[in-house]
Amino acid sequence: MIHKKADVQSVNIGENTNIWQFAVILKDAVIGANCNINCHTFIENNVIIGNNVTIKAGVYLWSGITVEDNVFIGPNATFVNDTYPRSKQYKKFKGALIKKGASIGANATILGNLTIGEYSMIGAGSVVVKSTPKYSLWVGNPAKQVGYITKDGVTLDMNFRNKKTGDVYFFDKTGELVLMQDN
């Protein structure tokens, strides 16, 4: 569904993707299937968005940004693709790479030319100035890692322990964060 008040110039939009009113999507943007692009968003040329992505209101994605599958981007999250901008000086832009399953909180700022790791979470209002490893939890300005987070959203301290249950997690041989089982 493309709302009649959206300005969608791209034909590279996957099935079952919803684009709401006042969204602007330029012609060279690529958007996957089953996405939800909320109102008052802007997606520039040379932006790639995977499948099952939610982009909330007030998000602008600039040239060079890649968003992989199953990512959530909260309202008014801000992305930068030029660390040292100058008016009328054009160059190849290096936006962020947001890996699969990551979540970006409302009003977070993500600088360009960095990677947000798989399934990691950036807290609301955080300012991310360096790449984050997978399954990591970041908050603050500048953002600092305060723990880990599982695919299912269970938050862990820096020792991979769930403070609510005491359960301990670890990275298995494949690099997945999994619950340690008692034998």
Query: Burial, 18: exposed, middle or buried (Cβ in 10 Å; 0-12, 13-18, 19+)?
Result: middle
Q: What gap in Å lies between CA 112 and CA 96, rounded to an integer?
A: 5
| Interval 95-134: pLDDT, tens | 899 999 999 999 999 999 999 999 999 999 999 999 999 9
| Interval 31-82: pLDDT, tens | 999 999 999 999 999 999 999 999 999 999 999 999 999 999 999 999 998 8
Q: What gap in Å lies between CA 111 and CA 127, rounded to an integer?
A: 8
Handedness of CA 134, 137, 130, 78 (dihedral sign): positive
Q: Are 144 and 138 in contact (CB under 8 A)?
A: yes
